[in-house]
Amino acid sequence: MNLKLFGEVFVTLLVIVDPPGMVPVFLALTGTLPARERTRAGTQAVLLALGVIVIFAVAGQTLLDYLHVQLPALQGAGGLLLVLVALQLLTGQTDEPSEQGSTTNVALVPLGTPLLAGPGAIVATMLFVQRADGVNDYWVIGLGILAVMATVWLVLRFSGGIVKLLRPGGIEVLTRIAGLLLAAIAVQLIADAVAAFVKLYTAGA
């Protein structure tokens, strides 16, 4: 087993996903849910992120080429999704029809994607796959991805204790802070996408 490659994959993706930084957003989106529903949302988000990253690792470049989509476009789309969620958190407006629907939707967007399986994680994974030398390296990359997702799940799973300390008033404050942070992340994603497009078309001119 290539431990060096495993370490590179694990550390790189862990830094990009940033589990501790995910906790405020996760609690802001799920803090009012029962513990069981909150755990389910975390599990669904991690499973979705794992599926998205694996799909892009296996066929990411082929899929993007087929759709004539470039990576900066994916980055910009992720930024726009986060803008919508950030506005909901900042204004306190949620239009989910039911608790179950809310749990599922929150797990899919923005937790599963683009926060966990965002452009950064997708691009990093695709680059590791391109560097892989043989089937053994592919298995090592897969194990690294699984290890990162397991770490994220553990962090989200045991973040419920923070909810008990914060109480409803603290959750309300945390929601506003998380909205502001998400808005900043969204603006950065969109700015990076614009810069990448400018650089791409300037170089091609």
Tell me the CA distances in angstroms from 140 to 5, 130, 144, 200, one per residue in order: 7, 13, 6, 32
CA distances from 9 to 46, 103, 121, 144, 148 (A): 17, 30, 10, 6, 9
Scan for tokens 């799909």, then name that residue: 55
Averaged pLDDT, groups of 10, the chain, 205 residues long: 92 89 85 86 95 93 88 86 83 56 74 88 91 93 97 90 76 81 87 91 76
| Cβ atoms 79, 189 nearer than 8 A | yes
Query: What is the per-residue pLDDT for 97?
Result: 42
Distance of alpha carbon 53 from alpha carbon 34, whole angstroms: 29
Say if residues 163 and 171 touch (Cβ distance below 8 Å). yes
Predicted TM-score (pTM) of the model is 0.79
Cβ atoms of residues 86 and 183 within 8 Å: yes
SS3 62: helix
With beta carbons less than 8 A apart as the criterion, state whether 128 and 4 touch.
Answer: no
pLDDT at position 98, please?
46
Coil, strand or helix: which one is 117?
coil
